[in-house]
């Protein structure tokens, strides 16, 4: 049987490296600060970790794999947002609490996969 045969462990849907910047906190605009982020979609949440490659070997210890932040996708909104950046392949994720993130990848197919997978989770939660 699968490790989640009891249905209690949230399902890992997707994980990978994206460029990320937070542009609003509770509806209040923030200054952009793009950084690579290890992004994990699990259950109803998008979880962000610091890019291990941007850390020194000494700083990369198990204790440091603590998430940087996490986003509840229930009620969230997703939009392509190339007008919000000079970078290509940018989408905006807005949470119900008014936090806004831009996520970006140089790889077209990769960013489309992320967009579709996140949108599917949002749609699933909307139907619950
Ligand atoms: O939308 P903006 O404000 O032009 O975004 C750019 C700036 O945030 C810039 O930082 P400083 O204004 O602190 O120098 C960033 O380095 C750029 O990456 C931002 O623009 P892009 O187009 O990369 O999202």
pLDDT per position as a tens digit, 54-84: 665 555 555 556 788 999 999 999 999 999 9
Task: Please determine, for residue 51, whether its predicted confidence score (pLDDT) is greater than 70.
Answer: yes
Tell me the pLDDT of the chain averaged across its residues: 88
pLDDT per position as a tens digit, 20-37: 999 999 999 999 999 999
H or E segment to which residue 35 belongs: strand 35-42
pLDDT reported for residue 114: 98
Identify the residue whose C-alpha is closest to ligand 1 atom 3. 32
The torsion of the CA quartet 56, 108, 115, 36, rounded to 10 degrees, works out to: 10
Report which of residues 35 and 8 the model is more confident about: 35
pLDDT reported for residue 12: 76
pLDDT reported for residue 28: 98
Query: Does residue 81 line the site of ligand 1, with CB under 6 A?
Result: no
Identify the residue whose C-alpha is closest to ligand 1 atom 8. 32
pLDDT per position as a tens digit, 116-125: 999 999 999 9
What's the CA-to-centroid distance between 34 and ligand 1, angstroms? 8
The CA-atom distances, in angstroms, between 90 and each of 2, 5, 55, 62, 64 are 35, 36, 25, 31, 28
Pocket test for ligand 1, best of 20, 32, 85 (most atoms within 8 A of CB): 32
The predicted model scores a pTM of 0.87
The torsion of the CA quartet 46, 52, 56, 57, rounded to 10 degrees, works out to: 130
């Amino acid at each position: 049987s699968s490790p989640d045969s009891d249905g209690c462990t949230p399902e890992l849907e997707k994980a990978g490296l994206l460029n990320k910047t937070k542009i609003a906190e509770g509806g209040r605009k923030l200054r952009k600060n793009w950084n690579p982020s290890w992004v994990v979609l699990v259950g109803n949440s998008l979880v962000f970790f610091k890019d291990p490659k941007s850390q020194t070997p000494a700083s990369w210890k198990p204790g440091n794999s603590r998430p940087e932040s996490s986003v509840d996708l229930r009620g969230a909104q997703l939009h392509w947002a190339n007008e919000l950046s000079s970078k290509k392949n940018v989408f905006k994720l807005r949470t119900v609490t008014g936090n806004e993130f831009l996520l970006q990848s140089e790889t077209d197919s990769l960013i489309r996969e992320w967009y579709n997978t996140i949108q599917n989770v949002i749609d699933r939660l909307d139907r619950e």
